[in-house]
A and B are shown apart, each in its own frame.
Chain A
């Protein structure tokens, strides 16, 4: 079986994707933290009823 040759450019694009993923994950974590901090951790997946 012939060994697949991996080009260097594909690693660059993988890194770009990883960077994008990291940004998305970080953003989600930051938004979740802020939401939990502001409105409680119950509000992550439920809508807080008005009192």
Chain B
């Protein structure tokens, strides 16, 4: 074997080993494009199916959106019609409100006038009530004076009747004495004079007329005790029952427990309403 052959053998072997190493390393590190292709194909199929599903879903959503849009358009139209109607109603209501406001203003003026009139009338009523109270008090006072005068009048009548009987008795006595003087002058027997009218020692004041209907007023009230403006001079007796009325309204009863000449006192019974000074009392309703 020649030297050149040996050199070639060695070089060929070295290059072969070197190239084989490069080949092995290249093939060992090369990518598996078929596998990558299949993976990419699988991914593409999945993406396509996903895209189809998305497209279907998109179509479905578009259909739903269109349906919703139609429905909302109808609702919008209905709401617009309702809005127009409500706007018309609002205008009508505002017009009515203005009319009512004008009426309210006019009524307010009228009410102000009424209030002033009522205030004036209340003042007049108060003044009239004051005058009425004064008149009632004066009436009570006059009633008391009248009762006093009536009692005095009864006393005077009694005295007058007594004096009249005394005068009649004295006249009879005078006549009898004149007869005796005449008989004495003619010489006849003297007969003791005796008046025809006997002296009455039991002359009494005239009885108080008992009226079947006695009326008076309440003069004083102290809880359940009241003082009436009528007394024994008016025919009031203990135990009598007076009816207290105000106008045509029954208030209560008063049972007389104490009687004076021109006034009496009693207690309240069957109280429907609390009586006041000036209320009328009567034995008959």
- Which of A's residues lie within 8 Å of B, judged by CB? 9-10, 13, 16-17, 19-21, 23-24, 26-27, 30-31, 34-35, 38-40
Cβ < 8 Å to A, chain B residues 150-167: none
Among residues 1 to 32 in chain B, which have CB atoms less than 8 Å away from a CB atom of chain A? Answer: 1, 6, 9-10, 12-13, 16-17, 19-21, 23-24, 27-28, 30, 32
Chain A residues in 8 Å Cβ range of B34: 38-40
A-B contact pairs, 13 of them (CB 8 A): A10-B1, A16-B13, A17-B9, A17-B13, A19-B13, A19-B17, A23-B17, A27-B20, A27-B24, A30-B23, A30-B24, A30-B27, A34-B30
A10 to B6, CA, bound (A): 9
Inter-chain contacts of B30 with A (CB < 8 A):
34, 38
The interface centre, meaning the residue of B6, B13, B19 with most chain A CB atoms within 10 A of its CB, is B13
Is the pair B33, A24 in contact by a Cβ cutoff of 8 Å? Answer: no
B20 touches A38 (CB 8 A): no
Closest 7 CB pairs of A and B: A20-B13, A27-B20, A20-B16, A23-B20, A16-B13, A38-B32, A23-B17
Residue of A nearest to B15 (CB): A20
Chain A min CB distance to B96 (Å): 85
**Which residues does chain A contribute within 8 Å of B21, judged by CB atoms?**
23
| A residues in contact with B17, CB < 8 Å | 19-20, 23
In the complex, chain A residues whose CB is within 8 Å of the CB of B32: 38
Give the CA-CA distance A23 to B17 in the complex, in Å: 6
Contacts of A21 in B (CB 8 A): 16
CA distance A27 to B27 in the complex (A): 10
What B residues does A38 contact at CB under 8 A? Answer: 30, 32-35
B17's nearest neighbour on chain A, judged by CB, is A23
Q: How far is the CA of A5 from the CA of B21 in the complex (A)?
A: 36
Nearest-CB distance from B9 to chain A (Å)? Answer: 5
Query: A13 to B23, Cβ gap below 8 A?
Result: no
